[in-house]
Amino acid sequence: MYFAALLARTEDGWEASDTELDDVETLSDLADLAREASPEEDTVLVLIEQEDAWFGVVRVDGEDDPRIYVSDAAAAQRSAYGELLLTDELLGREPGADDGPDLDSLDLDGTEDGESEADEDDEESPAADAVPHSPVGDSRILDDLGIGEKELRSLDAEEALGAIAEALGASEVLETVR
């Protein structure tokens, strides 16, 4: 089960809104959704959690590129919303690196008899695309809002969004949409 909410900073404090991510297909779509929540181009946080497995924070400040933090990349990779956040850049991969074999490096002489089973095993090595069971992204994403890197990394997925909202002074508004 997932929970997703937008926290938009306004002159009067934080405003929360429950959000459906069913129509969001890309990180760009998610950033656009966040920008719509704040017509004044103030800070908007997208908070996402999958019960007790992982949480993510996406921060959108006006037209700047979104900043992302995910508490457990491997757990998030197993979910549709997590995959949305886990960009190649965030995982330290070359963009498009998992699009299949590089055609320039293939031996296309028409013979396949020379391949051994060991060659096939190397091609499908899961270590090549392994995603860490650790946090990824900008762990300083909330520094200026009162939540330091060390505190963010120590948050447990079960209580993270509540702890973040409490530190921001937005726990009451977040609870209204939970």
Provide the pLDDT confidence category of residue 5 given band limits of 50, 70 and 90. Answer: very high
Yes or no: say if 10 and 42 are a contact pair by the CB < 8 Å rule. Answer: yes
For residues 142-163, average pLDDT: 95
Determine the pLDDT at residue 33.
Answer: 93
* Pick from 136, 31, 150, 142: nearest CA to 92: 136
Question: Residue 9: how many CA atoms within 13 Å on its side-chain side?
Answer: 14
Please state the pTM of the whole predicted model.
0.80
pLDDT at 171 over 80: yes
pLDDT higher at 86 or 112: 86
* Pick from 59, 136, 125: nearest CA to 98: 125
pLDDT at 99 over 60: no
Residue pLDDT, tens place only, 31-78: 999 999 887 889 999 999 998 899 999 999 999 999 999 999 999 999
Determine what percent of the chain is predicted with pLDDT higher than 90.
57
Give φ, ψ of 96 to 5 degrees.
80, 10
Determine the pLDDT at residue 116.
Answer: 46
pLDDT at 80 over 60: yes
